Amino acid sequence: MTRPAVPLLLLAAALALLAGIACKKSAAPISPTDKAAAEAKAIVDEAAAAEEEAAKPAPKPEPKMNDTLYIEIAARFVLINEKYRDEPEKIDPELEKVFEKLNVTQAEYEEFKKALTPEKAGELTRKVQEKMQALEREYK
C-alpha cells in the first residue's frame, strides 16, 4: 500500500464507522451496517498499524568497510605507489580499479582509516605488511 492511499483508507473507514454507529439499533441482531462498521474499524486499525510501521526509521545499513577490506586496499595502495613511482599519472586510475573491484569508495576507506584507534592501526599495519608480501608478485 502506498503512503498516499493510507489517509484515504482512514477517511473511508472513519466514514463507514460513523455511518454504522449512526444506523446502529440496540436490540437488533448484527446487521450489514454493523458488519460494515466492524470491517471499517479493522481497516482503520490496519491502516494505523501500517502508518506506524512506515514511520519507524529504517535499520542502519552495515558499513561496507571492514578490517579485511582496509588491509587489502592499504596493501595495494603501497604496492601501486611503489610500482608507478616514476609514472605518477598511472597511480590514481589503478587505485580507482581497486576501490571499484572491492565495491567501496575512497571516502569510505578514508573515514574508516580516520576512525582507527592507535592500537587498532598498529595491529592492521602488521597485517597490511603481511598482505603486501603475499601480493608482491602481482605488482612486479
The domains of the chain are located at 5-55, 67-139
Residue showing cell 506506524? 52
- At 2-14, the pLDDT tens digits run 455 555 545 555 5
Give the cell for residue 130: 603481511
Q: What is the 3-state secondary structure (H, E, C) of 76-129?
A: HHHHHHHHCCCCHHHHHHHHHHHHHHHCCCHHHHHHHHHHCCHHHHHHHHHHHH
The model's pTM: 0.56
- At 65-124, the pLDDT tens digits run 999 999 999 999 999 999 999 999 999 999 999 999 999 999 999 999 999 999 999 999
d(CA 23, CA 40): 14
- At 112-129, the pLDDT tens digits run 999 999 999 999 999 999
